[in-house]
Amino acid sequence: MLLYQDLLTGDELLSDSFPYKEIHNGILWEVEGKWVVKGALDVDIGANPSAEEGGEDEGVDDQSVKVVDIVDTFRLQEQPAFDKRQFMAYMKKFIKVLITKLDTANTEVFKKNIEGAIKFLLSKINDLQFFVGESMLDDATLVFAYYKDGATDPTFLYLGHALKEVKC
């Protein structure tokens, strides 16, 4: 199994269980998320409730909740929305920090293609949700989510160069 960690914080953000498609010359990775129901398992243990003492549901909490699989699996933490100015300020700071962590070949590819990826993200800024890893550190890599036209499940966007592949 492969895990993808935030290069800057070490937070786990993705795994190979969620296939991705590279877009914008590999700068962005696109991953399809899914809404799933978590909890509320109906388990038949063979007991006869009418023969047992107590009434229905004897205090068992069988609450179910709908979650997005990627957010739940990697414990992503949603952040407040950015406007264009805030987003650009974040990206300028982020790019400076990230470039110091990349090798020479990746730095050149990243510098050459990041502008197109940022323009793409800016075109969707009002539709994006912003997430970071569970550590919630200030210099964490952002993960973006949005709903494509008519989609009921979110699409996630990762900055591919900000992820480190780890074999488990």
CATH number, residue 10 = 2.170.150.10
Domain membership of residue 122 (yes or no) is yes
pLDDT of amino acid 141: 97
pLDDT of amino acid 58: 53
Domain membership of residue 60 (yes or no) is no
Which stretches of the chain score pLDDT less than 70?
40-62
Domain membership of residue 47 (yes or no) is no
- Please give the Cα distance from 13 to 4 (Å, whole number): 6
Domain membership of residue 115 (yes or no) is yes
- Cα torsion angle, 127, 135, 119, 68, sign: negative
- Please give the Cα distance from 162 to 109 (Å, whole number): 13
pLDDT of amino acid 39: 80
Domain membership of residue 110 (yes or no) is yes
The number of distinct structural domains making up the chain is: 1
pLDDT of amino acid 132: 97
All residues at 6 or more sequence positions from 30 whose CB lies less than 8 Å from its CB, including other chains = 20, 21, 22, 23, 155, 156, 157
Domain membership of residue 126 (yes or no) is yes
Domain membership of residue 82 (yes or no) is yes
What is the extent of the structural domain holding 96? 2-36+70-167
Q: Angle 104-123/84-99 helices, nearest 10 degrees?
A: 170
Domain membership of residue 44 (yes or no) is no
Which residue bears the tokens 């993808």? 4
